[in-house]
Amino acid sequence: MTIIDEPKTGEKVDAADLGYEHGRGHAHNHAAGDTDRPVGFGRLQRKEDPRFVRGQGNYTDDVVLPGMLHGAILRSPVAHARIVSIDVSEALARPGVRAVLTGKDLEPLKLAWIPTLSYDVQAVLATDKVRFQGQEVAFVIADDRYAARDALESIDVEYDILPPLVDARHALDADAPLIRDDLEGRTDNHIQDWECGDKAATDAVFAKAEVVVTQEVVYPRVHPAPMETCGAVADFNPVSGDLTLYETSQAPHAHRTVIAMVSGIPEHKIHLISPDIGGGFGNKVGIYPGYVLAIVGSIVTGHPVKWMEDRSENLMSTSFARDYIMQGEIAATRDGKLLGLRADVLADHGAFNGVAQPTKFPAGFFNLFPGSYTWEAVHGKVTSVYTNKAPGGVAYACSFRVTEAVYFVERMIDRLAIELDMDPAELRLKNFIPASAFPYDNKAGFEYDSGEYEKTMRHAMKLIGYDELRREQQEKRTRGELMGIGISFFTEGVGAGPRKHMDILGLGMADGAELRIHPTGKAVVRISVQTQGQAHETTFAQIVAEEIGIPPEDIEVVHGDTDRTPFGLGTYGSRSTPVSGAAVALVTRKVRDKARLIAAAMLETRPEDLEWEKGRWFVKGDPSAGKTIQEIALAAHGTMQLPDGVDGNLDAEVTYDPPNLTYPYGAYFCVTDIDKDTGKVTVRRFLAVDDCGTRINPMVIEGQVHGGLTDGIGMALMEIIEFDSDGNNLGGSFMDYLIPTAMEVPDWETGFTVTPSPHHPIGAKGIGESATVGSPAAIVNSVIDALRPLGVTAMDMPCTPARVWDAMQGHAKAPI
């Protein structure tokens, strides 16, 4: 096992920056007698943990306000039907029921429909018809949650059933049912077309290619399923006109703005609080009807109203993920030089186009589909359609469709390797973008910032013992055993984004940060992003600590409360470190520069004669003459005559507009064994080597990777939301929507290399979604690799025993 020093900020990193972490070997050897209070990057226990391990977190459903009532939503039992009538009289007469809202009640408030994050509209409560099973139809407000649920049973809705559209492949058929007849002039289910790359150049490359392979790659509909479902507590004060809203929101500032726009409540009167969140995974980015209903309910009843959905509601009605049907073509020379790549995607967006993504990127960052390789030309095309299903698409650690892009290209590379009868590792090594080519234009619109792919790949191959595994596989194959080795080498794109071309509903994707050093040298840093478990309260304190030398325990990180934090776009797309982390580094440097001016006055010297060491300005050549940041903070608030141009106190604020995304990457290897009598897949080993540039807290990174790898096993082997021909959701509870437990996952192996982002203030890239993005292809590729002796060249997720069994019999089916 090799574990090496973490590189320092800005330090040029070379051959030494390779690491491996497995089991408990990383643990806690303290340098004995180290009495210095440590600052900076490294393994640091989390500031969040003491409250969580005592049951003292404060999640939305823990919020209790005086007089608070409870809301519950009546949902459509069918996928597509006209609403003939809704009778709420019996429900209203029940004890404890305060109000029952229907779409008709919301229409005069102009709240029956609200805008989505993709400039479509979605129904809050259905007025004309229902468009997916589980859609919101009525809202009951009662004294407690039991009474509210009881009353749902007493609402009588008459539906006139319409034929549902379930299969996206038939969405554009001439006789397909028209789902969105609410939209003026609309005659079909087509949402949008989008293209990237160069079609003519790609056609030319394919025309001359020695080898062309065609493959359909389906990324089925799945769901982020955070352990805590979505919910809100709305408290409208009719006297002051203030709305206080506790919400499971990953983007509290953006939510406040959108709620102001739709509700008419002025933005300065909306106090939005995202308290502790029990996981988000992209599920908690958008605005759900339940939030709006809690607000309306509070206004109507004059009481605070809590709405918490249950698991089935969460799975059936909140943002799904993926659902991309991808037709791929790959062109190459016979000896394995990649030439061209085509992707033609059909995207199922459900009944309302509610995809959460930057406005100018209707297929998210699918632009990353060329992956980690050099091509002569590429062309990507995505057509999105409506179906009778819940809205969503971008969620579940997808980095705006990078999951789909990476899964696509990594499946295609393996498909070509099979065609060429070439080792898939060798094929990748032969075609990587060379380190010298960065920053690199990927020919689909994105410029990768940095990468040393070959080095990272070879490091991973060594750690997993690749050649030895191939030998073991050969031996097992002679005995008829099914063992597979799968590879995924991915390039992520995270940190949206430059405001010149990235916005959500017109809000530029920059993030603010404010830092205040108190007179006693303790600090508070206020950030615009919102942790859902990613440890921002710890790691953002580490960034401040690294930059200014105050110990992390003396630094409070404030987030999630729109009255107490600067504006910004929230946490998703692994954007916290790239954008908000940069803002925090820069605001700390701004404070440090101010401290330098004050220190110079204190030391009666010129600022340019001072030198910085962590936590202290001192006179060049005379290290004994210096002032600590704590001494400077006290002076900044004291009676000392401050230098010209320096106002009192020690604080600053910045808004960071990133120049580019960051492009972390990784080399993942999966070893699976398949039971040839049952088709059951066991992941025996999984190695993830990630490179996210400068590593702020390796312990937290490791945890992020472990969680994402588990997502990968879930998606690759068991998770799917399917529908029957009537539009019934077949994955609407944890009885059917299967998530890995401790029994299905291996003891993860992780490693790292360090290739800093050149444009980021501390060289750090995002990491949170890398493992979810990178791992499914490695697992599915390993399953296909295991089944190669049976002639299998492709199969789609999830690789359940039944579906693997079908593939073994030669009739692998595409998921619906």
Partner 1 sequence: MHVTMTVNGSEVERDIEPRVLLVHFLREDLGLTGTHWGCDTSNCGTCVVQLDGEPVKSCTVLAAMADGHTVKTVEGLEQGGQLDPIQQGFMEEHGLQCGFCTPGMMLTARALLDRSPNPSEGEIREAISGQICRCTGYATIVRAVQWAAEHEGADAAGGGPTNGQLETEGAHA
Per CB under 8 A, the list member of 12, 28, 479, 811 interacting with partner 1 is 28
d(CA 728, CA 224): 19
- The residue (of 314 and 660) whose beta carbon lies closer to partner 1 is 314
- Cα–Cα nearest to 738, from 672, 802, 685: 802
d(CA 708, CA 713): 9
Distance of CA 380 to the CA centre of its chain: 23
Q: Which amino acid, residue 455?
A: K
One-character DSSP codes across 79-118: SSEEEEEEE-HHHHTSTTEEEEEEHHHHGGGT-SEEE-TT
Stretch that binds partner 1, among 153-161, 221-229, 241-249, 717-725 (CB under 8 A): 221-229
For residues 599 and 617, the answer to whether their CB atoms sit within 8 Å is yes
Residues of span 490-549 touching partner 1 by CB under 8 A: 532-535, 542
Query: Across the strands, what pairs with 332?
Result: 211, 338
Neighbour tally for 608: CB within 10 Å: 9
- Beta-sheet pairing, 440-441 with 392-393: unpaired
Rg (alpha carbons) of the chain, rounded to whole number = 27
Per CB under 8 A, the list member of 79, 97, 196, 225 interacting with partner 1 is 225
For residues 568 and 561, the answer to whether their CB atoms sit within 8 Å is no
State the residue for tokens 């900044």: 636
Structure tokens at 453: 């792919």
One-character DSSP codes across 422-471: --HHHHHHHHBPPGGG-SEE-SSS-EE----HHHHHHHHHHHHTHHHHHH
- The residue (of 46 and 477) whose beta carbon lies closer to partner 1 is 46
Residue 164 C-beta: closest distance to partner 1, Å: 25
Residues of span 684-703 touching partner 1 by CB under 8 A: 698-700, 702-703
Which DSSP state fits 500?
Answer: T
Residue 714 C-beta: closest distance to partner 1, Å: 9
State the residue for tokens 């025309």: 207
Residue 556 C-beta: closest distance to partner 1, Å: 13
Contacts with partner 1, 388-427, as mask; x by CB under 8 A: ----------------------------------------
Per CB under 8 A, the list member of 177, 226, 286, 549 interacting with partner 1 is 226
Residues of span 132-171 touching partner 1 by CB under 8 A: 144-146
Asked if residue 322 binds partner 1 (CB under 8 A), the reply is no
Per CB under 8 A, the list member of 734, 758, 802, 814 interacting with partner 1 is 734
Using CB atoms within 10 A of its CB, is residue 24 exposed (0-12), middle (13-18) or buried (19+)?
A: exposed
Asked if residue 12 binds partner 1 (CB under 8 A), the reply is no
Asked if residue 246 binds partner 1 (CB under 8 A), the reply is no
Residues of span 289-308 touching partner 1 by CB under 8 A: none
- The residue (of 587 and 699) whose beta carbon lies closer to partner 1 is 699
**How many residues at the interface with partner 1, by CB under 8 A?**
83
Asked if residue 730 binds partner 1 (CB under 8 A), the reply is no
Asked if residue 40 binds partner 1 (CB under 8 A), the reply is yes
Asked if residue 10 binds partner 1 (CB under 8 A), the reply is no
Stretch that binds partner 1, among 61-69, 326-334, 438-446, 471-479 (CB under 8 A): 61-69
d(CA 254, CA 567): 8
Neighbour tally for 765: CB within 10 Å: 30
- Cα–Cα nearest to 395, from 727, 719, 7, 725: 719
Contacts with partner 1, 747-766, as mask; x by CB under 8 A: xx------------------
d(CA 551, CA 638): 23
Per CB under 8 A, the list member of 10, 14, 56, 790 interacting with partner 1 is 56
Per CB under 8 A, the list member of 728, 739, 789, 801 interacting with partner 1 is 739
Per CB under 8 A, the list member of 268, 733, 802, 814 interacting with partner 1 is 733
- The residue (of 225 and 635) whose beta carbon lies closer to partner 1 is 225
- The residue (of 4 and 261) whose beta carbon lies closer to partner 1 is 4
Stretch that binds partner 1, among 1-9, 154-162, 163-171, 468-476 (CB under 8 A): 1-9
